Homo-oligomer: A and B are copies of this chain.
Amino acid sequence: MRAIRWKDGVVVALDQSKLPKKLVYLKMGNYRQIASAIKAMKIRGAPLIGVAAALGLALTAYHSKAKSREGLFRELRRTEALLRSTRPTGVNLFWALHRVMEKAYWTHGDIEAVKKTMICEALKIVEEDVKLNLAIGKNGEHLLENGDVVLTHCNTGLGTVEYGTALGIIRAAVKSGKKIKVVVTETRPQLQGARLTTFELKHDGIPATLITDSMIGYVMANKIVDKVIVGADRILKSGHVLNKIGTYTIAVMAKMHGIPFYVAAPSSSIDLKTNVKNVVIEQRDPIEVLTFSGERIAPKGIRALNPAFDVTPPRYVTAIITEKGIFKPSKISLAT
């Protein structure tokens, strides 16, 4: 199941906020719609956000009526600026925008050549993402043994174009004939684990058991879980991993219980420049915590925190799996 597609100047993407109840496809003809979908987490997952942003630039190029190179680039810069502003923490967004824009800047020739190159580059990013995930799966699958129960957090399948990062490793292990069971954290506040990961595992026929985020300690202390694999929204040179809120707690608990904690991500999630002190953790609207399905769970007047991500220091990370291989967190710069 592809999370996103390009079709003749239209980007078609699964509305991930509606799953598993409804299978709704968004049809987006301009970058503003893409930006809105990213902000509202209808399109989500760091790799997929990068892909969607690249396609957003492609949409602007495709539909532009600019007569001059300057005119086109004005539109492109406006597109890039809006897309950049959607979500601050995942780095693939900035990586993908930069990559497509660089391609545009370096393309000489007429406007049509620039447009064509940009669209090509964006579509290349789409296809690469699928291949990267297959490579991550291949690199990581031997970490899982027959009979393993693997805990995963949030959703790393539909958060990519196809196949997934952490989920790609689980899928590769199953494909190679190993019996794997998955424990899925529901991942409040947006319930990506409960809504999306179970949906994908069910589709693949991989046994899945849902737990609340509060059951992490219980499943580890009771030896229900053998390994943890999660994705990443940004990995720093220092080996710090930024990922969905709750990841840090899982990593610490895994360490305390002697359970390996693996992170799976494409090398486009690696950020060699930013220091952990300067990383921006997106703070989303507290209403996501105060409500469920639009219904209030806490009384009016109560405040809430809603950081979308947390930071896991490298000492809690057993290894990071990218399309280039398996790396100790301290050696992650070798993966770029």
Contact pattern, A 218-233, Cβ under 8 Å of B = 1, otherwise 0: 1101001000000000
Distance (Å) between the CB of A261 and the closest chain B CB? 13
Neighbour of A217 across the interface among B194, B212, B248, B305, CB < 8 A: B248
A9 proximal to B (CB < 8 A): no
Q: Please report which residues of chain A, range 175-226, place their CB below 8 angstroms from some CB of chain B when the two chains form the complex.
A: 185-189, 191, 194-195, 198-199, 201-202, 207-219, 221, 224
Q: Please report which residues of chain A, range 146-198, place their CB below 8 angstroms from some CB of chain B when the two chains form the complex.
A: 185-189, 191, 194-195, 198
Number of copies of this chain that the complex holds: 2
Chain B residues near A109: list those with CB within 8 A: none
Neighbour of A289 across the interface among B212, B217, B248, CB < 8 A: B212
Chain B residues near A299: list those with CB within 8 A: 20, 198-199, 202
Chain B residues near A24: list those with CB within 8 A: none
Distance (Å) between the CB of A204 and the closest chain B CB? 12
Chain B residues near A295: list those with CB within 8 A: 292-293
Which has the most chain B C-beta neighbours within 10 Å: A198, A199, A244? Answer: A198
Which of the segments A51-59, A88-96, A249-257 contacts the partner chain? Answer: A249-257
**Other than the known A185-B214, A207-B303, A219-B305, what 17 A-B pairs have Cβ atoms closer than 8 Å?**
A20-B299, A188-B214, A195-B297, A198-B298, A202-B301, A208-B303, A209-B305, A211-B305, A212-B213, A214-B245, A215-B310, A218-B305, A249-B249, A252-B253, A252-B256, A256-B256, A293-B297
Neighbour of A195 across the interface among B189, B252, B298, CB < 8 A: B298
A1 proximal to B (CB < 8 A): no
Chain B residues near A217: list those with CB within 8 A: 246, 248-249, 252, 310
Which has the most chain B C-beta neighbours within 10 Å: A201, A245, A296, A297? Answer: A297
A290 proximal to B (CB < 8 A): yes
Contact pattern, A 138-149, Cβ under 8 Å of B = 1, otherwise 0: 000000000000
A residues with a Cβ closer than 8 A to B are 20-21, 185-189, 191, 194-195, 198-199, 201-202, 207-219, 221, 224, 244-246, 248-249, 252-253, 256, 286, 289-290, 292-293, 295-299, 301-305, 307, 310-311
Do the beta carbons of A209 and B245 come within 8 Å of each other? no
Do the beta carbons of A189 and B209 come within 8 Å of each other? no
Do the beta carbons of B211 and A304 come within 8 Å of each other? yes
Chain B residues near A214: list those with CB within 8 A: 185, 187-188, 213, 244-246, 249
A/B interface sample: 24 pairs, CB < 8 A:
A20-B298, A20-B299, A186-B289, A186-B297, A188-B188, A188-B212, A191-B292, A191-B297, A198-B299, A208-B302, A210-B289, A210-B290, A210-B303, A214-B244, A214-B245, A215-B305, A215-B310, A217-B246, A218-B245, A218-B310, A221-B248, A221-B310, A221-B311, A249-B253
Chain B residues near A221: list those with CB within 8 A: 248, 310-311
Do the beta carbons of B298 and A194 come within 8 Å of each other? yes
Neighbour of A215 across the interface among B185, B246, B292, B293, CB < 8 A: B246
